Amino acid sequence: MNKIKLSNFGFKILQIESTAACNMECSFCPYPLKEDKISKLSLEKIKNIIDQIDPLDKQFKYVTFSQYNEPLLDSRVFEIMKYAQNSGLKVHLITNGLLLNKEKNIENIFLYKPTVKISLQVLDSTKHMGARGLKLELDRYVNTIINFCIKAKNESIDVTVDIGSNYLSKSKYYLKSFFGLATGDPSVPNDIKTTILQFKKYMNLFYEASDEKYKENLKVLLDEKNAKKIFSQNYLYQEGFKIFKNVTLKIKPFFLWKKN
């Protein structure tokens, strides 16, 4: 079979939505509008797609098994992950983190060692359930993610936890508004003081869990002057804030998937 260099077509990432299901219905995601929330791609189709990708494509980054779904709901995901890795492809696991309290999931993540990105996002306890379509308190949800990070500390995998921020300078906010561009999502505040107030409790939990060598840097997230600079940084070029050598917190510009 001839292999395809996806980078020749402008793609550096391959997203295969192996299952249509998700265990959240986030207000900022198209998932609630989907008609199909139950179907799965067959293993045969998934493997056929993987077989066509050229693993020697130097510009190709990774394959992931999510788009608007939750990949850990697919009982086959680690089998698929193993197949992709055996085909020479790097694997990225993007998850909302709800199922990181399952020991089998944790064991398999540590076994297959994908890079992991956890979408934490909304840190407002009054909006969390509505924004994420979830009957689970924010404290329990955050603790699941922190406990996973602690377990991942001594594992040879890289973990990133994404936290949403709406912050824009006033000039950028009015410019985007003028052109009808997205300026943020209602579930995340757009002023620094409110953002820091919400962050404080949960950043302190990450702070308490972190290695001593990283604690000083984490304090910057709770300082208003520095926070403005950090929250307005381009996510792609942001180094983030380590809590362990292999676990990083990143502030993600949190824009609604459609125009406001």
Residues 163 and 251 occupy one common structural domain = yes
Residues 181 and 71 occupy one common structural domain = no
Q: Is residue 105 part of a domain?
A: no
- Supply the pLDDT for residue 257: 46
Does the pLDDT value for residue 80 go beyond 70? yes
- Supply the pLDDT for residue 217: 85
What is the chain's alpha carbon radius of gyration, rounded to the nearest angstrom?
19
Alpha-carbon distance of 238 to 231, in angstroms, equals: 10
CA 24-236-73 angle, to 5 degrees, is 25
CA trace torsion 79, 247, 146, 149 (10° rounding): 40
Q: Are the C-beta atoms of 135 and 223 separated by less than 8 Å? A: no
- Domain containing 18 equals 1-95
Does the pLDDT value for residue 177 go beyond 80? no
Residues 91 and 135 occupy one common structural domain = no
Residue 35 binned pLDDT confidence (cut-offs 50, 70, 90): confident
**Strand bridging mode 247-253 / 115-121:** unpaired
**Per-position DSSP letters for 178-200, written without gaps between them:** HTT-----TTS--SHHHHHHHHH
- Supply the pLDDT for residue 31: 87
Residue 260 binned pLDDT confidence (cut-offs 50, 70, 90): very low
- Supply the pLDDT for residue 247: 97
Q: Is residue 67 part of a domain?
A: yes
**What is the overall mean pLDDT for the chain?**
85
Number of separate domains in the chain: 2
- The pTM score is 0.87
Q: Tokens 């993610």 appear where?
A: 145
pLDDT tens per residue, range 98-153: 999 999 999 999 999 999 999 998 888 888 898 899 999 999 999 999 999 999 99
Q: Are the C-beta atoms of 93 and 117 separated by less than 8 Å? A: yes
- Supply the pLDDT for residue 183: 47
